[in-house]
Structure 1
């Protein structure tokens, strides 16, 4: 299995990037939940609140590309892809009700699904591509069609970032042996969000190392998503209702 070579120069570890992604995601979700889900339509929202929301969301746009990059790294280094996908699906299930409550103020909102489903479909797409690869690492058309099907499922299911999310994961996987191409292509794909391409500045400095991350921290990163959504759901539905 091919992986990126570890850089000799100092840089950011995987753990440091995870922390950056979690912090920017939290900032983003404070805007989406505590402000947007609470105030509703823009014309009824005070301009100062709208400006604050815009700042929070612009900062938060950095999170998703970082998570996608780290997902590819995790896939390249995992010893059990099935367990990897299973963990993502498990936390997708655990996160769905908090996600709906935080952003839609209802425990069951069928139109949108949380980002763990997108990440799980992204890993599935990479696994199907890898399974069809020849000795030179070129995926057969069957693998490419299977990856496309994963993107279509994400779009139809309304997962966070939908087809473009799965497509970004696949693109980062296909360019895994060249950080320059990863950053250029990834930034280009995320141009529809003004600040999202800036995430690839951080990713350029990834040093190829996991960094200090004990077992409890690994599960803490997984659990951060449903836990922070639960807290935001409580604030949005009880304190700011």
Structure 2
């Protein structure tokens, strides 16, 4: 039955469209021809995809396969980033680090641990509770260890083979956002309120000026995703589940390669 609002597919299409603006700014800002508002509107994209991944995790029939696709996407992006920057080098040495797949995969890992921990608490079983808590803390400790030992040969590969909150795109904020969406999944008003509060917390309160708000630190503009999240009607919409998996890397690599001809 048709419901008012936006389906998951429609929201993803909006996010994909806005993502293009964001990445056009990232790769072509050096030309001084791309307006800064391109990246302002891009702040809403990652939170939308995090929200939709949480929804996908909740409703998928096979969580293992779902997580496997995200992990495989992460690995493909990592090795593709290495290969493409080797063969298409920019004169200003801008790094090609985009890999939201790693963030999304890590979020699903944490959601799995949370479910496991929750079950242990419900059943009052000590071992699952202990293992669950360790599962929540271990990635953080592992990330800190990796960052402190980057000189070790092969550590850079270990960092991407084992994503941690300290290293993935968006860091602890994006991972925490995914957890927040999951824990408040059955309480829409609370979910939207918490999201708004997280966005507000990112405002550079120590520098409440136009420079501070819109030029130095504007991640708080992700609050612009709030209307889209509010309009989500809980329906999946049309298929094309692989659209994001294909479009995301292809448009990034296309823009990056194109930018190499202008530097």
Q: Shorter-normalised TM-score: what interval?
A: 0.7 to 0.9
Residue 82 of structure 1: how far off its partner (Å): 1.6
Task: Calculate the TM-score normalised by the size of structure 1.
Answer: 0.78
Residue 147 of structure 1: how far off its partner (Å): 3.2
Alpha-carbon separation, structure 2, partners of 1:233 and 1:223: 16
Provide, for residues 62-82 of structure 1, a one-character-per-residue CA deviation record: whole Å limited to 9, x for no partner.
Answer: 101110110110000112222
Residue 53 of structure 1: how far off its partner (Å): 3.6
Match of 1:212 in 2: 238
Provide, for residues 110-159 of structure 1, a one-character-per-residue CA deviation record: whole Å limited to 9, x for no partner.
Answer: 99562110110000000111122238699957535523444664343x22
Alpha-carbon separation, structure 2, partners of 1:150 and 1:144: 11
Contact 2:165 2:175 in 1 (8 A): no
| RMSD between superposed Cα atoms in Å | 3.1
Gaps of 5+ in 1: 1-5, 40-44
Provide, for residues 7-36 of structure 1, a one-character-per-residue CA deviation record: whole Å limited to 9, x for no partner.
Answer: x8511000001101111111111101122x
Residue 91 of structure 1: how far off its partner (Å): 1.0
Alpha-carbon separation, structure 2, partners of 1:109 and 1:30: 14
Contact 1:88 1:117 in 2 (8 A): yes
Match of 1:65 in 2: 47
Residue 34 of structure 1: SS of its match in structure 2?
helix
1:34 to 25, 28, 42: 28
Alpha-carbon separation, structure 2, partners of 1:150 and 1:24: 31
2:101 to 98, 111, 116: 116
Contact 1:131 1:143 in 2 (8 A): yes
Alpha-carbon separation, structure 2, partners of 1:148 and 1:124: 12
Alpha-carbon separation, structure 2, partners of 1:71 and 1:150: 20
Match of 1:3 in 2: none
Residue 189 of structure 1: how far off its partner (Å): 1.6
Alpha-carbon separation, structure 2, partners of 1:20 and 1:110: 27
1:201 aligns with 2:186: no
Provide, for residues 45-99 of structure 1, a one-character-per-residue CA deviation record: whole Å limited to 9, x for no partner.
Answer: 75xx3xx442001010110111011011000011222211111111112223555
Number of residue pairs the alignment of both structures matches: 216
